[in-house]
Amino acid sequence: MTDESKPNRKPPTAAAIARPVTLRRNLGSICSICPTDIACSPLSRDTLSLHRRPPQRIAHRRPVRVGNSSRPSANLSAMLTAKIAAAAVLAAALALSPARAASSEAGSGARWRWPTVPPGAVVQAFVAPASPYAAGHRGLDLAASPGQAVVAPAAATVQFAGIVVDRPVVTLRVDDHVLLSFEPVASEVPVGATVEAGQRVGAVARGGHCDGSCLHVGVRIDGDYVSPLLFFAGIPPAVLLPFE
């Protein structure tokens, strides 16, 4: 067939283009009237499905729980309650311990007098050790000279008087919890003797780290060293030592 024998075809109009679309939109009604219509063929149904808009999916959020979700579990609550109770028991035990009670009484009761007259200046202050066997300075060093008199700061009983390693030591028991020690001090009272506040118990000697230049004063409450300043009245002036 030549080009001359081909029929002349006009381009489709806008109405012709829109007609199939209208037909497809009315396929449902056509099929209900004429089930044998060609528009009801499987191909036409597939074509109809292509023109249908797919259903939109709506994202559903999970509901937020309010109330019980923020509460701790029963086990966690029980653990917290047990820890709080244990802390309360420990605090009560520390508050009622003899050492705490004696220290509190020392801070609020009558003060001791200083063991030397006049009171010697503080050469080295008390430094609490980190542990019972760690380094530290377990007392006060007061400026003194050999032969200077040492008196009892409070009424007490002589617990010990003798040599410890390389220095003479005198220990007085003030009560059932508090011990007071001096070194180096040559004792002038026997063990077991009762002394009054201000009574002479010995004289500054040589030995130890003071070696006649100072008097070391140590205080223990139930075996634990504490600062003697908790018991003595006033604080003697400090002395600045030369840097070595």
Q: What CATH number is given to the structural domain containing 196?
A: 2.70.70.10
Give the structural domain span for 39: 14-51
Q: Both 39 and 138 in a single domain?
A: no
* Phi, psi angle pair for 163, to nearest 5°: -95, 130
Output the pLDDT for position 84: 77
Q: Both 120 and 35 in a single domain?
A: no
Q: Both 130 and 23 in a single domain?
A: no
Output the pLDDT for position 144: 95
Any domain includes 3: no
* Phi, psi angle pair for 64, to nearest 5°: -85, 125
Output the pLDDT for position 133: 86
* Phi, psi angle pair for 191, to nearest 5°: -65, 135
What angle (nearest 5°) sits at the alpha carbon of residue 33, between those of residues 27 and 37? 65
Q: Both 140 and 221 in a single domain?
A: yes
Please state the pTM of the whole predicted model. 0.55
Output the pLDDT for position 96: 42
Any domain includes 131: yes
Any domain includes 223: yes
Q: Both 143 and 213 in a single domain?
A: yes
Q: Both 222 and 148 in a single domain?
A: yes
Output the pLDDT for position 24: 46
Any domain includes 5: no
Place of tokens 């011990």: 179
Question: Could you tell me which of 129, 116, 139 has the C-alpha nearest to residue 236?
Answer: 116
Name the domain count of the chain: 2
Q: Both 39 and 119 in a single domain?
A: no
Alpha helices in 69-128 (DSSP H): 74-95, 98-108
Any domain includes 160: yes
Any domain includes 178: yes
Any domain includes 22: yes
Please give the average pLDDT of every successive group of 10 residues along the chain, which has 244 residues. 56 57 46 46 48 59 55 65 67 48 52 91 91 89 95 97 95 96 96 96 95 95 93 67 54
